[in-house]
Structure 1
Amino acid sequence: MERTFGLAPDAAEIEALADAALARLPEPFAAHLEGVVLQVEEFADAETLALLGIEDPFELTGLYEGVPVGDKHSAPSGTLPDRIRLFRAAILDEWIARGNETLEHLVAHVVIHEVGHHFGLSDADIEALEDAAD
């Protein structure tokens, strides 16, 4: 049997999956996400990778940039809007490597992880919450 492959999901498709994941978030989380910019890029730029100490761009699937909700009161005026950046090629690479989950689930996982940072949670706190939810 011959197998044909479609094109890899583009940035707009990844963004649609991310938007759907954000839309499923319950209150009070959803109320605090207004104004957070969602951006899908192919890879993190070299400056971002260097700042994070990451050499391989495939190691970074998402990034929250901004002031966590609990620290908003001390943010200087003129601060850029909070944003969640998703890196399409790295997400697709991880999706292929895992092989046992849907792209929708993986994108939701990355988005929720970055939303956790928006709320000031550490990576360890986010992992504990995700483990408890599984």
Structure 2
Amino acid sequence: MAIDWSRTEAPSLDDIETIARGAFASLPAEFRGLCGEVPFVVQDFPDDDVITELDLETEFDILGLFQGADLAARESSNGHPEPTLIFLYRRPILDYWAEHQISLGEIVRHVLIHEIGHHFGLSDDDMMAIEES
């Protein structure tokens, strides 16, 4: 059955959050348990502070962001951990989707897992090595 693109709208912020929640639910229970209650925040773009802090050329240069203390820091924070959030940026995700032959669900799942990796204290290089192995 063909999709009627003349009536199809771009996925909304809520749609991306629904995809992210489904992707999270599909992860192994042990993995989800280690994550705890990490809220997902879906925004169209990163805030100007994020763009400046990460020295991004444009607001399209980042698909997601882990913000807060990683798991090790949370464990050693004496009960007062910095709040942890995972941001997903809808417009950069949709732009990436338009340019690649990957499903939207796969992209959101990849970004989510990548940001959760930061929650576990893994660097971008660590995660790249894991993905390549």
TM > 0.5: yes
Task: Mark the runs of 5 or more structure 2 residues left unpaired by the alignment.
Answer: none
Contact preservation (8 Å) 2:66, 2:119? yes
Give the total of aligned pairs. 130
Structure 1 unaligned spans of 5+: none
Superposed structure 1 runs of 4+ greater than 2 Å apart: 2-5, 73-81
Q: Distance in 2 between matches of 1:131 and 1:50?
A: 30
2: CA distance, partners of 1:113 / 1:27: 17
Of 43, 46, 62 in structure 2, the residue corresponding to residue 44 of structure 1 is: 46
Determine if contact 1:37/1:81 at 8 Å carries over to the other structure: no
What letter matches 1:41 in structure 2?
Answer: Q
Report the CA distance between 1:3 and its aligned residue.
6.0
The CA distance in 1 between the partners of 2:76 and 2:27, in whole Å, is 26
In structure 2, how many angstroms separate the alpha carbons of the residues matched to 1:29 and 1:81?
Answer: 19
Contact 2:46/2:59 (<8 A) preserved: yes
Is 1:124 the counterpart of 2:113? The answer is no
How far apart, CA to CA, are the structure 1 residues paired with 2:11 and 2:20?
13
Q: Bigger shift: 52-61 or 68-77?
A: 68-77
Structure 1 residue identity aligned to 2:108: V
d(CA) in 2 for partners of 1:52 and 1:41? 17
Alpha-carbon distance in structure 1 between the residues aligned to 2:5 and 2:48: 37
Q: Matched residues, percent identical?
A: 36
Q: Which residue of 1 aligns with 2:11?
A: 9
Q: Deviations over 1:36-81 (max 9, x none)?
A: 1101000001011101111200011100011111222332654442
The letter of the residue matching 1:108 is R
RMSD over aligned Cα atoms: 1.8
Q: Does the CA-based 8 Å contact 2:74-2:82 persist in structure 1?
A: no
Most deviating of 83-92 and 72-81: 72-81
| Superposed CA offset, 1:73-119 (max 9, x none) | 33265444211000000000011011x11000000010000010000
The Cα of 1:20 is off from its aligned counterpart by 1.0
Q: Does structure 1 residue 63 correspond to structure 2 residue 60?
A: no
Inter-CA distance 122–3: structure 2 relative to 1 (3 Å threshold): closer
Q: Output the CA distance in 1 between the equivalents of 2:14 and 2:28.
A: 24
Tell me the SS of whatever aligns to 2:65.
Answer: strand
User: Is 1:115 the equivalent of 2:86?
Assistant: no
